[in-house]
Amino acid sequence: MLPSVTYHPLGLILNPIIYALPIWLLVMGIRWAFITRRCRRRERLGLCVGCAYELGELSVCPECGCEGA
Ligand SMILES: [Zn+2]
C-alpha cells in the first residue's frame, strides 16, 4: 500500500509567497542597485542617462530625447 499524502490547499497560495517573494525582492534589489549605479556613473561622466551619448554642453540628448542632468 502506498503512503497517502494530503496537500493543504492553502499551500498552493502560501508557498509561492513564502519562497518566491524573497527571491523576487533580492533580484529586484540587485537590479535596482545596478541601474542606480549606472545612472550615477553616466551623470558623473557627463553622458546621457538613457543611452550614454556624450552630451557635452547639450541639455537634451539628440539621440534619445532624454533630458540631461
Ligand atoms: Zn540619450
Domain hosting residue 68, numbered range: 8-69
Distance 6 CA to ligand 1 centre (A): 57
7-18: pLDDT as tens digits:
888 888 899 899
Whole-angstrom distance, CA of residue 50 vs CA of residue 67: 9
Kindly state whether residue 20 falls inside one of the protein's structural domains. yes
Whether 45 is covered by a domain: the verdict is yes
Asked whether residue 24 is assigned to any structural domain, the reply reads: yes
Number of structural domains (the chain) is 1
Evaluate whether residue 43 is within a structural domain: yes
In this structure, how many other beta carbons lie within 10 angstroms of the beta carbon of residue 46? 13
Tell me whether residue 15 is exposed, middle or buried, using C-beta atoms within 10 angstroms of its C-beta: 0 to 12, 13 to 18, 19 or more. Answer: exposed
Separation of CA 62 and ligand 1 centre (Å): 7
Task: Find all residues with CB under 8 Å of 59, minimum gap 6, and list them.
Answer: 67, 68
CA 40–ligand 1 middle distance (angstroms)? 15
Ligand 1 centroid distance, CA of 51 (Å):
4
Inside any domain, residue 2: no
Model-wide pTM > 0.75: no
pLDDT tens figures, 7-50? 888 888 899 899 999 999 999 999 999 999 999 999 999 999 99
CA distance 69 to 48: 8
